[in-house]
Amino acid sequence: MRKLIAFLGVSLDGFHADAAGGLEWQTFGPEFTDFSLAQLDEVDALLFGRTTYDGMIQYWPQQAGTEFDDRIAQRMNSIRKYVVSRTLPAADWNNTTLLRDPDEVAAVDADTVAIFGSSSLVAGLIQRGLLSELRLMVNPIVLGSGARMLDGIDLTHFALLGTRPFEAGNVLLTYRPAAA
Protein backbone atom coordinates (compact mmCIF):
# COMPACT_ATOMS: atom_id res chain seq x y z
CA MET A 1 0.00 0.00 0.00
CA ARG A 2 1.41 3.32 -1.06
CA LYS A 3 -1.03 5.75 0.57
CA LEU A 4 -3.57 5.42 3.41
CA ILE A 5 -6.10 8.25 3.78
CA ALA A 6 -8.56 8.60 6.67
CA PHE A 7 -11.73 10.68 6.38
CA LEU A 8 -13.63 11.49 9.58
CA GLY A 9 -16.58 13.76 10.31
CA VAL A 10 -16.19 15.64 13.56
CA SER A 11 -18.16 18.16 15.62
CA LEU A 12 -16.66 21.44 16.78
CA ASP A 13 -16.12 19.88 20.20
CA GLY A 14 -14.24 16.84 18.85
CA PHE A 15 -16.86 14.08 18.67
CA HIS A 16 -17.18 11.76 15.67
CA ALA A 17 -20.52 10.27 16.81
CA ASP A 18 -23.25 11.50 19.13
CA ALA A 19 -24.02 9.90 22.52
CA ALA A 20 -26.21 7.25 20.82
CA GLY A 21 -23.52 6.49 18.23
CA GLY A 22 -25.45 8.34 15.52
CA LEU A 23 -24.14 10.47 12.68
CA GLU A 24 -27.37 12.25 11.67
CA TRP A 25 -25.98 15.56 12.97
CA GLN A 26 -23.40 15.79 10.18
CA THR A 27 -23.84 18.65 7.73
CA PHE A 28 -24.25 17.73 4.07
CA GLY A 29 -24.87 20.01 1.14
CA PRO A 30 -24.84 19.77 -2.64
CA GLU A 31 -21.03 20.04 -2.74
CA PHE A 32 -20.63 16.98 -0.53
CA THR A 33 -21.86 14.56 -3.19
CA ASP A 34 -19.29 15.82 -5.70
CA PHE A 35 -16.60 15.72 -3.01
CA SER A 36 -17.58 12.14 -2.10
CA LEU A 37 -17.40 10.99 -5.71
CA ALA A 38 -14.02 12.66 -6.21
CA GLN A 39 -12.70 11.07 -3.01
CA LEU A 40 -13.90 7.62 -4.14
CA ASP A 41 -12.32 8.13 -7.57
CA GLU A 42 -8.87 8.68 -6.06
CA VAL A 43 -8.73 5.39 -4.14
CA ASP A 44 -8.36 1.72 -5.07
CA ALA A 45 -9.86 0.26 -1.90
CA LEU A 46 -11.72 1.10 1.30
CA LEU A 47 -10.89 0.02 4.85
CA PHE A 48 -13.31 -0.15 7.78
CA GLY A 49 -13.37 -1.13 11.40
CA ARG A 50 -16.15 -3.47 12.52
CA THR A 51 -18.65 -0.85 13.72
CA THR A 52 -18.34 1.31 10.61
CA TYR A 53 -18.49 -1.76 8.36
CA ASP A 54 -21.74 -2.85 10.06
CA GLY A 55 -23.24 0.60 9.38
CA MET A 56 -22.01 0.76 5.79
CA ILE A 57 -23.36 -2.67 4.85
CA GLN A 58 -26.75 -1.67 6.28
CA TYR A 59 -26.81 1.43 4.05
CA TRP A 60 -24.95 1.31 0.72
CA PRO A 61 -26.10 -2.07 -0.65
CA GLN A 62 -29.67 -1.17 0.36
CA GLN A 63 -32.27 1.11 -1.22
CA ALA A 64 -31.30 3.97 1.13
CA GLY A 65 -27.82 4.14 -0.43
CA THR A 66 -29.19 4.20 -3.97
CA GLU A 67 -31.73 6.88 -3.01
CA PHE A 68 -28.99 9.03 -1.45
CA ASP A 69 -26.93 8.90 -4.67
CA ASP A 70 -26.85 6.00 -7.08
CA ARG A 71 -23.35 6.89 -8.33
CA ILE A 72 -21.88 6.79 -4.83
CA ALA A 73 -23.78 3.58 -4.01
CA GLN A 74 -22.47 1.88 -7.16
CA ARG A 75 -18.88 2.87 -6.35
CA MET A 76 -19.18 1.86 -2.67
CA ASN A 77 -20.60 -1.52 -3.65
CA SER A 78 -18.10 -2.31 -6.41
CA ILE A 79 -14.79 -1.08 -4.94
CA ARG A 80 -12.50 -3.48 -3.04
CA LYS A 81 -13.12 -3.29 0.68
CA TYR A 82 -11.31 -4.54 3.77
CA VAL A 83 -12.72 -4.80 7.28
CA VAL A 84 -10.56 -5.24 10.38
CA SER A 85 -12.30 -7.36 13.00
CA ARG A 86 -11.41 -10.16 15.37
CA THR A 87 -15.08 -11.02 15.97
CA LEU A 88 -16.89 -10.66 12.62
CA PRO A 89 -17.64 -14.21 11.44
CA ALA A 90 -17.62 -13.32 7.72
CA ALA A 91 -17.47 -10.27 5.46
CA ASP A 92 -20.59 -10.54 3.30
CA TRP A 93 -20.49 -7.23 1.42
CA ASN A 94 -19.41 -7.57 -2.22
CA ASN A 95 -15.61 -7.46 -2.76
CA THR A 96 -14.79 -7.42 0.96
CA THR A 97 -11.81 -9.13 2.59
CA LEU A 98 -11.73 -9.76 6.33
CA LEU A 99 -8.52 -8.83 8.17
CA ARG A 100 -8.20 -10.24 11.68
CA ASP A 101 -5.55 -7.81 12.95
CA PRO A 102 -4.72 -4.13 12.26
CA ASP A 103 -1.12 -5.18 11.52
CA GLU A 104 -2.43 -6.88 8.35
CA VAL A 105 -3.34 -3.46 6.90
CA ALA A 106 0.27 -2.81 5.86
CA ALA A 107 0.09 -5.79 3.48
CA VAL A 108 -3.06 -4.62 1.63
CA ASP A 109 -2.32 -4.71 -2.09
CA ALA A 110 -3.61 -1.32 -3.29
CA ASP A 111 -2.00 1.97 -4.25
CA THR A 112 -4.39 4.20 -2.29
CA VAL A 113 -6.75 3.08 0.47
CA ALA A 114 -9.33 5.26 2.22
CA ILE A 115 -10.84 4.76 5.65
CA PHE A 116 -14.26 6.38 6.04
CA GLY A 117 -15.03 6.66 9.75
CA SER A 118 -13.58 3.99 12.04
CA SER A 119 -11.96 6.44 14.46
CA SER A 120 -10.52 3.72 16.72
CA LEU A 121 -8.92 1.96 13.76
CA VAL A 122 -7.56 5.29 12.48
CA ALA A 123 -6.01 6.00 15.90
CA GLY A 124 -4.31 2.60 15.89
CA LEU A 125 -2.98 3.09 12.36
CA ILE A 126 -1.60 6.51 13.29
CA GLN A 127 0.16 4.88 16.26
CA ARG A 128 1.62 2.26 13.87
CA GLY A 129 2.89 4.99 11.51
CA LEU A 130 0.73 3.74 8.62
CA LEU A 131 -1.53 6.75 8.02
CA SER A 132 -0.47 9.07 5.18
CA GLU A 133 -3.21 11.66 5.40
CA LEU A 134 -5.99 12.66 7.81
CA ARG A 135 -9.03 14.48 6.40
CA LEU A 136 -11.35 15.98 8.99
CA MET A 137 -14.74 17.33 7.97
CA VAL A 138 -15.49 19.78 10.78
CA ASN A 139 -19.24 20.24 11.16
CA PRO A 140 -20.67 23.48 12.59
CA ILE A 141 -22.27 21.88 15.63
CA VAL A 142 -21.42 21.28 19.29
CA LEU A 143 -22.67 17.88 20.47
CA GLY A 144 -21.65 18.15 24.13
CA SER A 145 -21.07 14.40 24.44
CA GLY A 146 -20.53 11.33 22.33
CA ALA A 147 -17.64 9.28 20.97
CA ARG A 148 -14.48 11.37 21.04
CA MET A 149 -12.46 11.35 17.85
CA LEU A 150 -9.10 9.53 18.00
CA ASP A 151 -9.61 8.80 21.68
CA GLY A 152 -6.61 7.18 23.37
CA ILE A 153 -3.99 8.24 20.83
CA ASP A 154 -0.61 9.33 22.14
CA LEU A 155 0.83 12.76 21.41
CA THR A 156 1.10 13.04 17.63
CA HIS A 157 1.98 16.07 15.54
CA PHE A 158 0.40 16.83 12.17
CA ALA A 159 1.29 19.19 9.32
CA LEU A 160 -1.57 21.09 7.68
CA LEU A 161 -1.81 20.28 3.95
CA GLY A 162 -4.94 22.24 3.10
CA THR A 163 -8.34 23.65 4.02
CA ARG A 164 -11.60 23.76 2.08
CA PRO A 165 -14.78 25.48 3.22
CA PHE A 166 -18.13 24.10 2.07
CA GLU A 167 -21.26 26.19 1.49
CA ALA A 168 -23.15 24.16 4.12
CA GLY A 169 -20.80 25.59 6.79
CA ASN A 170 -18.46 22.66 7.29
CA VAL A 171 -14.72 22.86 6.66
CA LEU A 172 -12.40 20.13 5.41
CA LEU A 173 -9.00 20.13 7.10
CA THR A 174 -6.33 17.93 5.56
CA TYR A 175 -3.27 16.92 7.59
CA ARG A 176 -0.23 14.69 7.24
CA PRO A 177 1.04 12.96 10.37
CA ALA A 178 4.50 14.37 11.10
CA ALA A 179 5.99 10.85 10.97
CA ALA A 180 4.49 10.04 7.53
User: Could you read off the pLDDT of 63-84 as tens digits, one per residue?
Assistant: 999 998 999 999 999 999 999 9
Average pLDDT taken over every residue of the chain: 94
Nearest Cα neighbor of 107 from 45, 32, 149, 35 is: 45
143 HSE (CA, 13 A, CB side): 26
pLDDT at 155: 85
User: Could you read off the pLDDT of 108-156 as tens digits, one per residue?
Assistant: 999 999 999 999 999 999 999 999 999 999 999 999 999 998 888 888 8
CB atoms < 10 A from the CB of 106, how many?
A: 12
Nearest Cα neighbor of 36 from 11, 70, 82, 83 is: 70
% pLDDT > 70, the chain: 99
The CATH number of 1-24+32-43+130-180 is 3.40.430.10
Residues 6+ apart with CB under 8 A from 103: 128
pLDDT at 152: 83
pLDDT at 179: 63
C-beta of residue 164 within 8 angstroms of C-beta of residue 172: yes
Stretch(es) of the chain classified as CATH 3.40.430.10: 1-24+32-43+130-180
